[in-house]
């Protein structure tokens, strides 16, 4: 079970999409798992052959647990027992996941629960007092908490569990506001040049190939992030780890509530047309409740854009362990001083929320200003 985000501890196997004997290429979808973020397609990391399913759909697996045996190209086939073992042994290439922490007496009054269970309960918003423990001495285990959280299954639509998604948002945003000292900057720019460029580009294109302003915003942020590495990466284990790759997470609102911010990989290197095609594909899949493991796990910076029906500005909450989120408000006509006069110009308010443990306002201002400059020269994006 791959880790699909810093806040993920386990997931449920929904279905296998490949069967033993299937030859697979890196990036092929092997299975679908259900996490708090919704159904996620798990990709294989290398070319090879799926040898054996180790677990069956319905299994709840902690991160690191063995799901299947997979033989990479060039690896020798493992000697296999003559008859399949009645219960698959947990031994495999990866070490078996650690057992839940031993139950300790609670520090104060209240239900007996392991620290891991308490942490999970807090993250999921589950009241420990409402759970009957199944552990030693009636202690509440992580699995008890998870089962309770799953019990009132939310309204399911299009593969999305809105209750679980709301809980995941609550956990990630709560952690962000507890741990990340945000600072905020805003910068309003004249977006007329980008609008004109877009109108001219789209006049030549059939609808299927048209670009949206949102693609320009994402590209500009990605290129600026390349020049300002302190906004692109992860704050983990007390230190900032900048990311070589720039995978911009795109905040996508989901009909009926909730949102997800999966990544568009190598954003800075994509031509606008390719970036737009990936955005369209991603939005369609997210709204259908299907995205891939690599998309959800590895955004290095996030962009949130209110679109043409939003309000003036959005102040983002950083998605941990990322360190920055750039927001774009709706494009609005504003009185704008130009060449000694005042004109009505299309403008957009850009915002930056960044992690003060990693960067300061001065750098943040330069980063945001650079993003604006890139949008002023859209032909070079």
Partner 1 sequence: MTADQILAVIRDELARLAPEVDFDTADHNRPIQQEFDIDSMDFLNFITALHARLGVNVPEADYAKVATISGAQAYLLSRTPG
- For residue 160, the cross-strand partners are 157
Residue recorded with tokens 């911010």: 261
Residue 202 touches partner 1, criterion: CB under 8 A: yes
Q: Which residue in the set 112, 150, 166, 210 belongs to the binding site for partner 1 (CB under 8 A)?
A: 210
- Say how far apart CA 161 and CA 174 lie, in whole Å: 20
Residue 273 binds partner 1, judged by CB under 8 A:
no
Least distance to partner 1, CB of residue 14, Å: 22
With CB under 8 A as the contact rule, the residue among 172, 270, 279, 303 that binds partner 1 is 279
Among 255, 344, 379, 380, binds partner 1 (CB under 8 A): 255
CB closer to partner 1 out of 110 and 307:
307
Residue 290 binds to partner 1 (criterion: CB under 8 A): no
Q: Least distance to partner 1 from the beta carbon of 154, Å?
A: 16
C-beta closer to partner 1: residue 234 or 291? 291
Choose the stretch contacting partner 1; rule: CB under 8 A; options: 66-74, 85-93, 218-226, 249-257.
249-257
If one asks whether residue 74 binds partner 1 (CB under 8 A), the answer comes out as: no
- The span of 92-100, 147-155, 199-207, 217-225 binding partner 1 (CB under 8 A) equals 199-207
Q: Does 156 bind partner 1 (CB under 8 A)?
A: no
Greatest CA span in the chain, whole angstroms?
87
* Cβ contact 63:9 at 8 Å: yes
Q: Parallel, antiparallel, or unpaired: how do β-strands 301-305 and 324-328 relate? A: parallel
For residues 43 and 76, is the Cβ–Cβ distance under 8 A? Answer: no
Give all strands (DSSP E) within 282-331, no chain letters: 291-292, 301-305, 324-328
User: Does residue 281 touch partner 1 according to CB under 8 A?
Assistant: no
- Out of 21, 74, 81, 207, point to the residue binding partner 1 (CB under 8 A): 207
Q: Which of 29, 173, 253, 277 binds partner 1 (CB under 8 A)?
A: 253
Nearer to partner 1, 129 or 199 (CB): 199
Of the pair 256, 361, the CB lying nearest partner 1 is at 256
How far is the first Cα of the chain from the last one, in angstroms, to the nearest whole number? 38
Burial 126-158 (b: 16+ CB within 10 A, else e): bebeebebebeeebbbbbbbbebbbeeebeeee
Q: Does 93 bind partner 1 (CB under 8 A)?
A: no
User: Of 378, 374, 6, 5, which Cα lies nearest the Cα of 226?
Assistant: 374
Please list the residues that pair with 302 across neighbouring strands: 249, 325
Contacts 24+ apart (CB under 8 A), 259-262: 259/169, 260/37, 260/38, 260/165, 260/286, 260/291, 260/296, 261/299, 261/302, 261/304, 261/319, 262/286, 262/291, 262/292, 262/295, 262/296, 262/299
Residue 284 C-beta: closest distance to partner 1, Å: 8
**Binding test (CB under 8 A) with partner 1, winner from 20, 102, 181, 307:** 307
Cα distances (Å, whole numbers) of residue 46 to 73, 74, 92, 115, 131: 8, 11, 17, 36, 42
Tell me the closest approach of the beta carbon of residue 157 to partner 1, in angstroms. Answer: 9
From 119-127, 132-140, 226-234, 253-261, span contacting partner 1 (CB under 8 A):
253-261
308 binds partner 1 (CB under 8 A): yes
Closer Cβ to partner 1, 274 or 308, answer by number: 308
Q: Which two tokens stand for residue 243?
A: 């990311």
Q: Tell me the C-alpha to C-alpha distance, in Å, between residue 115 and each of 10, 30, 120, 141.
A: 16, 33, 9, 9
Work out whether 280 is an interface residue with partner 1 (CB under 8 A).
yes
Q: 156, 329 in Cβ contact below 8 A? A: no
Among 29, 147, 173, 212, binds partner 1 (CB under 8 A): 212
Position 214 contacts partner 1 (CB under 8 A): yes
List residues near partner 1 by CB under 8 A. Answer: 199, 202-203, 206-208, 210, 212-214, 253, 255-256, 279-280, 283-284, 307-309
């Amino acid at each position: 079970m791959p880790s699909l985000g810093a806040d993920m501890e386990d997931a449920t196997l929904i279905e296998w999409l490949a069967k033993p004997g299937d030859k697979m290429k890196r990036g092929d979808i092997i299975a679908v798992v259900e996490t708090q973020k919704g159904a996620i397609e798990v990709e294989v990391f290398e070319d090879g052959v799926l040898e054996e399913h180790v677990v069956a759909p319905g299994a709840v697996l902690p991160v690191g647990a063995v799901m299947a045996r997979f033989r990479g190209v060039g690896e020798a086939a493992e000697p296999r027992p003559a008859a399949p073992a009645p219960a698959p042994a947990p031994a495999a290439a990866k070490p078996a996941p650690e057992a839940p922490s031993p139950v300790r007496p609670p520090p104060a009054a209240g239900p007996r629960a392991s620290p891991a269970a308490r942490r999970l309960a807090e993250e999921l918003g589950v009241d420990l007092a409402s759970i009957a423990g199944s552990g030693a001495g009636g202690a509440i285990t992580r699995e008890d908490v998870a089962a309770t959280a799953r019990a009132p299954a939310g309204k399911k639509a299009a593969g999305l569990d809105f209750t679980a998604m709301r809980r995941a948002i609550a956990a990630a945003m709560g952690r962000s506001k507890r741990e990340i000292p945000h600072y905020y900057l805003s910068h309003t720019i004249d977006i007329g040049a980008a609008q004109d460029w877009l109108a001219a580009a789209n006049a030549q294109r059939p609808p299927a190939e048209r670009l949206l302003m949102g693609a320009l915003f994402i590209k500009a942020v990605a290129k600026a992030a390349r020049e300002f590495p302190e906004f692109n990466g992860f704050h983990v284990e007390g230190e900032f780890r900048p990311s070589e790759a720039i995978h911009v997470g795109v905040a996508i609102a989901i009909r009926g509530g909730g949102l997800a911010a999966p990544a568009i990989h190598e954003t800075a290197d994509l031509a606008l047309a390719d970036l737009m095609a990936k955005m369209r594909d991603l939005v369609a899949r997210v709204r259908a409740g299907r995205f891939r493991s690599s998309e959800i796990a590895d955004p290095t910076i996030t962009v949130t854009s209110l679109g043409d029906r939003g309000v003036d500005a959005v102040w983002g909450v950083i998605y941990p362990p990322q360190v920055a989120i750039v927001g774009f408000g709706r494009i609005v006509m504003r009185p704008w001083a130009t060449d000694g006069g005042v004109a009505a110009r299309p403008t957009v308010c850009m915002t930056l929320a960044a992690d003060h443990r990693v960067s300061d306002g001065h750098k943040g201002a330069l980063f945001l200003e650079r993003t604006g400059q890139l949008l002023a020269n859209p032909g070079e994006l």
